[in-house]
Amino acid sequence: MIQAFIHAPRYHVLVEIALVIWILRLLFFTKSYRSERTVLTEKEKEDLIEDWQPEPLAPPLSESDAALLNVNERIVDRHIWEFCSKIGKHVTVNGHECLNLASMNFLAMNEDPLIEEDAVASLRKYGVGSCGPRGFYGTVDVHLFLEEALQKFMGCEEAIIYSYGFSTVASAIPAYSKRGDILYADESVHFAIQKGIQASRSRVRYFKHNDMDDLERLLQEQEREDQRNPKKAKVTRKFILVEGLSMKHGDLCPLPKLVELKNKYRVRVFMDESLSFGTIGKTGKGVTEFYNIDVTEIDLITGSLEYALGSVGGFCVGKSYVVDHQRLSGLGYCFSASNPPMLSQAAITALQILQDKPEKLERLQENSKWMHRQLAQIDGLKVSGEAISPIIYVQLSDATGQTGVDRALLQRIVSECEIQGIALTCPAFLDDEELFVPPPSIRVAVNCDLTKEEIDEAIRIIQNVVRDVLSTRDAFAQ
Amino acid sequence: MGHLAKKNALLKNAKALKHGRLLDKAPKWKTFESFEETPLYIAIFTYLSYAILIVFGHMRDLMRRWGFEKMPINTEPSKKGWVPLYQNFESFYTRNLYTRIRDAWNRPICSLPGARMDLMHRVTDDHCVSFRFTGKKINAVNMGSYNYLGFAQNEGPCADAAEAATRKFGCSVASSRQEIGNMKIHHDLEKLVAEFLGVESACTFGMGYATNTMNIPCLVGKGSLIVSDELNHASLVLGARLSGSTIKIFKHNDMVDLERKIRDAVINGQPRTHRPWKKILILVEGVYSMEGSICKLHDVIRIKNKYKCYLYLDEAHSVGAMGPNGRGVLDYWGCSPKDVDIMMGTFTKSFGASGGYIAGKKSIVDYLKGRSHSMCYASSMTAPVAQQIITSMSIIMGRDGTNDGQRRVCQLAWNSRYFRRRLMEMGFIVYGNMDSPVVPLLLFCPGKIAAFSRQCLKHGLATVVVGFPATPIIESRARFCLSASHTKETIDQALDIIDKVGDLIHLKYSRRDQRPDISENDKDFKQRYKLLPEY
């Protein structure tokens, strides 16, 4: 080849060299081969910064938000004329003396003089705040006593307490379920569970409310997928998240079927008993007691001290190896100050009262059934949920289906009842952030201290108000 | 003309930034913040001790698997067909490193967390896997609780008022603010908080941690950017994560890095789409609880105003504890509350109660009142807690007719400087700002974490020690929180103990040549804090 090159005519070599240079130029020096990097000048950058207009931090209030704020303006105070002076069976709302059918103070623990004495004694020993998280000298002996009392009461190996009801389940879920794990949740779980799911970053599949067939369908789907990919299945933890007594519907979770599915498909169950703890079951142990199911079948039970026990905070109970993990991994436990000792003391005393005076719970359950029956008889209203549930959702039986209209109507019923001496409330939801918003309704909360006469009187008033409000609506409609 | 001048100023700023220099408006007084470098041989020894611990951990795990050693009680029994609840990797650290020195944490107390406190004596028979209480009490100086202004009291006006509130309203509200848990005491409290901070409006929540996690998602969302300090508290981190915004981390208290990140973000817009950001929120804390450093607020405010970002300032450890009037870092630096969009803080620490607040413009607070998860779903604050805050805050503001609040603020300021100066003079490596009531003392080696904590307690000083993952792996430390309830005698006693223990386990690593440049007898310090104690 070299020989050929030498022997080739001069002009030939020249032409070839020119060709090679041209190709090289085409390859490296033409615009189309240059990577397109735009470098902004300082001035352009400054202009961009100058031009940028952020959205306002808080958008102007929408109509529904403004309405919520109005609701927010309802000021409750203790009832002045009654013998019992705390927010309890009676309250004043915006200056009107009312029978309280709104606070979820089911067992009237807030008015109990014994709790008051114990809480004050604790205040006089420990002060109000604990001034530290549990790890750093925020553990007061009272917290240990409360954990022990809860663990003994529920018949579990260990209990852990949180200082805020909402943060309990929201911290417990991400402590176990991580990215890559699967959560099966009831579609109408309450907001704290939704936040827990979000914080865990796990995959989530929702099943229809209390629909065990739907859950089984999802579990079977997953089983098929697991068979295709056994390596992944070996490290994917699965959890079912349910509420014992639904916060949005007031009905019980079908636990026997759920436990069957849990064992069949080897999925762990976390159950939130915020409402059912202290209100359901013969001694108030919740849904497991109601169905007569061994507590150890449920891997983790979370609950609230804020409703039945009339204190503040929440708790989890379960096996030691499960619960103890939260002492290092439950974010709301590790990074938050512990519960004020006086409030934990109030919970201890309330738990003791719950065991010493079983008649409180009996009366609550009787009252719930009676209230449920009486409400169902009011014309124009529809009642849903379990008869034994201490919260009862009341909807309009001929609802328009337009959320705004129905809500306004129910709100008028609530305001009118308030003037006539019955405190009610429409449950508050953040519509655009909720996964499932139940139809507009009024939530009636039952108190164990209500007498049959008081319930009947309340029903009479509600009945009259509903009739009046609905007749004006009908008049408008015509 | 004005426009041109502004542009010129901007260009000048940009130039300054390029040269790594910031045109910050320095505060009027001298400030001093130190983060002494870790000596190299200490770093090597620290890594070495972790390596030894890990090797031994694996050996013990092996022994456990072969049955030579009993499994710790809290391990999950293996069930066939079930996926184990914990990954082996995460429990390794807990099982082999943390559990061995577990007695340094979660120590139960059985008294008020005041200047001194009683701890429940506990012993372990199985190397800290479980504990047994002996019924004895240990009285110790308390440098662990966040009782900055000494309001953890069981007598006096706060406790009296809280008792009256308990008797009047009970311990529970059993409803959310938007349903039927809205009491007059909440309104009074919110009005007072707004006045205290000098803002238009405030709202309060039942838990400080939840104030962050539940409100940040209401303010920003998808398409927004959060620029967050790398050492922010877990609640801010979780709140940011829950919001769904893009998160950028800047180096701790590094204003050049912060400005560079924000500048790039504004210029380049959202990743991939290059659309402009909806909003940019800067998340910073007032006082960082593990470093003892104070946020450089004047710089943050300058950057925030220049790039039209919003500022979320978490004053959990600074409200009440900083500034000559106890109003937090704004008061300390002399900044205007108008420049901070969201002022967040907790009542757990300086006020001896629990809960948190968010304060700012009325429009923002009203929006949160309508939209906050906490307002809508969580139980509202109970009356005794709210009352404790109202009374303690009124005392700080001097509304009780005495100068007790002023005295507390000044005592804390004096204590912080005095304690820090003495520690530095002893030769310890101490982090943080000279005026911060949080004083971290560096321990480095993992073995010294437990040794320091146990020895201090033996001599009568209760303090907090922290290691990985709360700190970088080699920077294990002890942390002291000063309180207005400490007198000079208490602090001297604590210093004696620390000195003794420091000699015993060799902690005086500092190689600083000259004396630290801080003193509690400064002229301008005395000028700003009027009621400093005389010793």
- Chosen for mutation from B112, B180, B279 (greatest number of chain A CBs closer than 10 Å) is B180
Residue A143 has pLDDT above 50, yes or no: yes
In chain B, ranges of CATH 3.40.640.10 domains = 157-397
Confidence of residue A455 (pLDDT cuts 50, 70, 90): very high
Compute, in degrees rounded to 10, the torsion defined by CA atoms B509, B511, B512, B518: 10
Query: What CATH architecture is B403-529?
Result: Alpha-Beta Complex (3.90)
Contact B247, B222 (CB under 8 A): no
Instruction: Kindly state the percentage of chain B with pLDDT values over 90.
Output: 68
In chain B, ranges of CATH 3.90.1150.10 domains = 403-529
- Between chain A and chain B, the number of residue pairs with CB atoms below 8 A apart is 358
More reliable by pLDDT, B24 or A225? A225
Contact A389, A348 (CB under 8 A): no
Searching chain A, which residue's CA lies closest to the CA of residue B120? A141
Measured distance between the N- and C-terminal CA atoms of chain A, rounded to whole angstroms? 105
Contact A284, A277 (CB under 8 A): yes
Of the ranges A50-64, A445-459, B17-31, B505-519, the best mean pLDDT one = A445-459
- Chosen for mutation from A71, A87, A104, A137 (greatest number of chain B CBs closer than 10 Å) is A137
Residue B453 dihedral angles phi and psi, to the nearest 5°: -65, -45
Q: Is A71 on the interface with B (CB under 8 A)?
A: yes
The answer to whether B279 contacts A57, with C-beta atoms less than 8 Å apart, is yes
Q: What pLDDT is attached to residue B100?
A: 87
Q: What pLDDT is attached to residue B12?
A: 44
User: What pLDDT digit, counting tens, does each position of B330-351 carry?
Assistant: 999 999 999 999 999 999 999 9
Searching chain A, which residue's CA lies closest to the CA of residue B376? A428
Cβ-Cβ contacts under 8 Å, A192 against chain B: 377-378
Across residues B190-216, what is the average pLDDT?
A: 93
User: Partners of A40 in the beta sheet?
Assistant: none
Query: What is the distance between the alpha carbons of residues B30 and A231, in angstroms, rounded to a whole number?
Result: 61
Confidence of residue B515 (pLDDT cuts 50, 70, 90): low
Which of B81, B342, B377 is nearest residue A266 as measured by Cβ atoms?
Answer: B81
Residue B9 has pLDDT above 50, yes or no: no
Q: What pLDDT is attached to residue A78?
A: 62
The answer to whether the bond into B469 is cis (omega within 30° of 0) is yes
Across residues B520-528, what is the average pLDDT?
A: 85
The answer to whether B210 contacts A166, with C-beta atoms less than 8 Å apart, is yes
More reliable by pLDDT, A58 or A70? A58
User: What pLDDT digit, counting tens, does each position of B422-445 carry?
Assistant: 999 999 999 999 899 999 999 999
The answer to whether A132 contacts B146, with C-beta atoms less than 8 Å apart, is yes
- Give the Cβ contact number of residue A373 at 10 Å: 13
Cβ-Cβ contacts under 8 Å, B119 against chain A: 137
Across residues B137-157, what is the average pLDDT?
A: 93
Confidence of residue B19 (pLDDT cuts 50, 70, 90): very low
Name the 3-class secondary structure at B236. helix
Query: What is the distance between the alpha carbons of residues A288 and A258, in angstroms, rounded to a whole number?
Result: 11
Q: Is A24 on the interface with B (CB under 8 A)?
A: no
Compute, in degrees rounded to 10, the torsion defined by CA atoms A74, A75, A76, A77: -160
Amino acid identity at B530: K
Q: Is B169 on the interface with A (CB under 8 A)?
A: yes
User: Partners of B225 in the beta sheet?
Assistant: B246, B280
Per CATH, which fold does B157-397 belong to? Aspartate Aminotransferase; domain 2 (3.40.640)
Of the candidates B363, B491, B479, the one whose C-alpha atom is nearest the C-alpha of residue B428 is B479
Which residues of B, range 464-493, sit inside 8 Å of A by Cβ? 464
Searching chain A, which residue's CA lies closest to the CA of residue B352? A129
The answer to whether B278 contacts A55, with C-beta atoms less than 8 Å apart, is yes
Q: What pLDDT is attached to residue A342?
A: 95
The answer to whether B82 contacts A425, with C-beta atoms less than 8 Å apart, is no
Which of B154, B174, B347 is nearest residue A125 as measured by Cβ atoms?
Answer: B154
User: Partners of B311 in the beta sheet?
Assistant: B282
Confidence of residue B5 (pLDDT cuts 50, 70, 90): very low
Cβ-Cβ contacts under 8 Å, A195 against chain B: 213-214, 242, 373
Query: What is the distance between the alpha carbons of residues A436 and A277, in angstroms, rounded to a whole number?
Result: 24
Residue A246 vs residues A250, A386, A439: alpha-carbon distances, Å: 5, 10, 14
Of the candidates A381, A408, A393, the one whose C-alpha atom is nearest the C-alpha of residue A462 is A381
Residue A451 has pLDDT above 90, yes or no: yes
Q: Please give the DSSP secondary-structure letter assigned to residue B98.
A: I
Cβ-Cβ contacts under 8 Å, A134 against chain B: 106
Q: What pLDDT is attached to residue A66?
A: 64
Residue B266 has pLDDT above 80, yes or no: yes
Confidence of residue B533 (pLDDT cuts 50, 70, 90): confident
Q: Is A159 on the interface with B (CB under 8 A)?
A: no
Cβ-Cβ contacts under 8 Å, B162 against chain A: 123, 128
Confidence of residue B514 (pLDDT cuts 50, 70, 90): low
Which of A40, A131, A311 is nearest residue B146 as measured by Cβ atoms?
Answer: A131
Q: What pLDDT is attached to residue A69?
A: 59
The answer to whether A141 contacts B176, with C-beta atoms less than 8 Å apart, is no
Residue A37 has pLDDT above 70, yes or no: no
Cβ-Cβ contacts under 8 Å, A320 against chain B: 73-74
Cβ-Cβ contacts under 8 Å, B159 against chain A: 123-124, 127-128
Q: What pLDDT is attached to residue B21?
A: 36
Cβ-Cβ contacts under 8 Å, B2 against chain A: none
HEC profile of B22-65: CCCCCCCCCCCEECCCCCHHHHHHHHHHHHHHHHHHHHHHHHHH
The answer to whether B106 contacts A327, with C-beta atoms less than 8 Å apart, is yes
Searching chain B, which residue's CA lies closest to the CA of residue A105? B174
Q: Please calculate the CA angle B384-B389-B393 and round it to the nearest 5 degrees.
A: 150
Q: What pLDDT is attached to residue A292?
A: 94
Which residues of B, range 198-217, sit inside 8 Å of A by Cβ? 206-210, 213-214
The answer to whether B171 contacts A143, with C-beta atoms less than 8 Å apart, is no
Which residues of A, range 457-476, sit inside 8 Å of B by Cβ? none
Mean pLDDT, chain A, as a whole number? 89
Residue B16 has pLDDT above 50, yes or no: no
Q: What pLDDT is attached to residue A142?
A: 95
CA distance B220 to chain A (A): 7
Q: Is A145 on the interface with B (CB under 8 A)?
A: no
Which of A52, A78, A109 is nearest residue B168 as measured by Cβ atoms?
Answer: A78
Searching chain A, which residue's CA lies closest to the CA of residue B10? A46
Which of B74, B278, B384 is nearest residue A324 as measured by Cβ atoms?
Answer: B74
Q: What pLDDT is attached to residue A126?
A: 94
Query: What ipTM was predicted for this assembly?
Result: 0.91
Q: Is B102 on the interface with A (CB under 8 A)?
A: no
The answer to whether A199 contacts B158, with C-beta atoms less than 8 Å apart, is no
- Give the Cβ contact number of residue B138 at 10 Å: 17
Q: What pLDDT is attached to residue B280?
A: 95
Q: Which residues contact B120 (CB under 8 A, 6 or more apart)?
A: A141, B107, B108, B109, B110, B133, B136, B137, B138
Cβ-Cβ contacts under 8 Å, B347 against chain A: 129
Q: What pLDDT is attached to residue A470?
A: 87
Which of B76, B176, B307 is nearest residue A321 as measured by Cβ atoms?
Answer: B76
Mean pLDDT, chain B, as a whole number? 88
Across residues A276-280, what is the average pLDDT?
A: 93
Confidence of residue B165 (pLDDT cuts 50, 70, 90): very high
Query: What is the distance between the alpha carbons of residues B309 and B307, in angstroms, rounded to a whole number?
Result: 6
User: What pLDDT digit, counting tens, does each position of B267-313 carry?
Assistant: 999 988 889 999 999 999 999 999 999 999 999 999 999 999 999 99
Across residues A340-356, what is the average pLDDT?
A: 95
Contact B153, B114 (CB under 8 A): yes
Tokens representing A166 are 């909402």
The answer to whether A141 contacts B75, with C-beta atoms less than 8 Å apart, is no
User: What pLDDT digit, counting tens, does each position of A43-61 carry?
Assistant: 888 888 888 899 998 887 7
Q: Is A167 on the interface with B (CB under 8 A)?
A: yes
Q: What pLDDT is attached to residue A34?
A: 55
Q: Which residues contact A117 (CB under 8 A, 6 or more apart)?
A: none
Q: What pLDDT is attached to residue A32?
A: 60
Tokens representing B324 are 């000559």
Residue A84 has pLDDT above 80, yes or no: no
Sign of the torsion angle spanned by Cα atoms B84, B85, B88, B92: negative
More reliable by pLDDT, B532 or A5? B532
The answer to whether A137 contacts B462, with C-beta atoms less than 8 Å apart, is yes
- Chosen for mutation from B3, B131, B179, B305 (greatest number of chain A CBs closer than 10 Å) is B179
Cβ-Cβ contacts under 8 Å, A131 against chain B: 113, 145-147, 152, 348-349, 352
Q: Is A93 on the interface with B (CB under 8 A)?
A: yes
Q: What pLDDT is attached to residue A70?
A: 59
More reliable by pLDDT, A72 or A283? A283
Across residues B18-39, what is the average pLDDT?
A: 61
Residue B88 has pLDDT above 80, yes or no: no
User: Partners of A394 in the beta sheet?
Assistant: A383, A442
Q: Is A386 on the interface with B (CB under 8 A)?
A: no
Which ranges in A319-441 belong to alpha helices (H)?
320-323, 326-329, 331-334, 341-356, 358-376, 403-419
